[in-house]
Structure 1
């Protein structure tokens, strides 16, 4: 049985400029644009970062995507939106979620893929989704390069790992990071521990950190940790686009991407 971080989703007011910055700075390519998100009033683009995925969603038009537009207004613009995890046995999660008082905001299904998008008022921090793909099982869990519905049928053909080789964590900020961390630990059935000036829990392949509000934008997904093969090239391309650059992170789409975190 496995449970891993598989995808991070950003929300932007305007899709294409943020996608262009991510593709250029991280030297990655769009593998899929999912027409199904149109039912939520959104359009999107997915990019593989190693065997993980980074998605950007944006409203198709004003007034078409109420939840995303509320999020943009609440956090003052583009930023982190969703933390999406992958497991081999979704059925065992449904009674647990009910027992912890977490509502299902949107059940998702396409082909072999099935997901449970959880209500953000019950989780706090960010939209949290737990998903599974039928057939992705094995003695040590699914192979990380198996089919993954949201990424389209041929995501491997778009894989580039010269700069970024994967996503290693997510950083949620809050006025009370311990309280938020304990809630996510209860939902995800993982142990929470104190770490530096915040708290953290581990999934099989990544760490979710709970930190103080560092930018004054309130509770939300403020940072993403990356495994990076060419940090200097990444910083150089970010600077060329006049994006905020520091020794340990760059800022794209309102999110701090921590290099090697």
Structure 2
């Protein structure tokens, strides 16, 4: 499949208050409001962090896919977007594995395919190819100016059969899982035991973890071992 990066993580929430809290605690910059997500029955906020992105989506109708996600389990990790330099190969592999591609787009500067969460497990997996590779349409115009310092270093996904789920994600990404772990070019996906199939934690590196913890405490959020829960997701902070 070529080089694979974690480029964007997405929370589905019942209110945009989650976006405000996330931005405040992590010290994020101005958000991009993508009108294109109306196609999916959503409004959103997208924040740049380094050259990666955190997004919060809120359904405008309970019949939207994100609305059904919230009805099943409340706010939580909804989508992980990975960047590849070989989307054609990724699409061919998904088709061979019978992973349903529920949305595809091909634009001059980016192409993408969303894989059905029932096939890969826990969350929507999107595989995208940006042209040029350093660009990112989903971050909005001039995202470089608005991005805050930091980095997304990984995610934690739970399942009653974590190694089997890790294997499915690994097949989708073209990177074999080892012991319930997938190591990407810039991040790690850890699959652990849990009653629900759910993306439960985002791992975020910041230049000043202490300041983020103080901002979380000011909002009345509990911080335990540099982890704070926002939008149904444990945000694990590191320096």
Q: TM-score, normalised by structure 1?
A: 0.87
Which residue does 1:175 correspond to in 2? 160
Q: 1:109 to 1:35 in 2, by over 3 A?
A: farther
Give unpaired runs (5+ residues) of structure 1.
137-145
User: 2: CA distance between counterparts of 1:42 and 1:30?
Assistant: 19
Which residue does 1:69 correspond to in 2? 67
User: 1: CA distance between counterparts of 2:158 and 2:116?
Assistant: 18
Deviation at 1:109, TM superposition (A): 3.8
Aligned residue runs from structure 1 range 97-136, under 5 A = 97-136=94-133
Deviation at 1:224, TM superposition (A): 0.6
Q: Secondary structure at the match of 2:224?
A: coil
Which residue does 1:93 correspond to in 2? 90
Which residue does 1:204 correspond to in 2? 185
User: 1: CA distance between counterparts of 2:98 and 2:90?
Assistant: 12
Which residue does 2:21 correspond to in 1? 21
Which residue does 2:235 correspond to in 1? 257
Which residue does 1:140 correspond to in 2? none
Deviation at 1:24, TM superposition (A): 0.7
List per-residue Cα deviations over 1:11-65 (Å, max 9, x = no partner): 00112x11110111001023411101101110111001121100010012444x2
Which residue does 1:151 correspond to in 2? 139
Deviation at 1:134, TM superposition (A): 2.4
Which residue does 2:176 correspond to in 1? 191
Q: Secondary structure at the match of 1:193?
A: coil
User: 2: CA distance between counterparts of 1:185 and 1:83?
Assistant: 13
C-alpha RMSD of the superposition: 1.5
1:55 matches 2:45: no
1:244 matches 2:222: yes
User: 1: CA distance between counterparts of 2:107 and 2:57?
Assistant: 18
Which residue does 1:141 correspond to in 2? none
| Count of paired positions | 238
Q: Quick check: 5-14 or 239-248, which moved more?
A: 239-248
Q: Quick check: 49-58 or 103-112, which moved more?
A: 103-112
Deviation at 1:127, TM superposition (A): 0.5
Deviation at 1:193, TM superposition (A): 1.9
User: 1: CA distance between counterparts of 2:232 and 2:222?
Assistant: 10
User: 2: CA distance between counterparts of 1:56 and 1:233?
Assistant: 22
Give unpaired runs (5+ residues) of structure 2.
none
Would you say the 8 A contact 2:84–2:128 is kept in 1?
yes
Q: Quick check: 180-189 or 98-107, which moved more?
A: 180-189
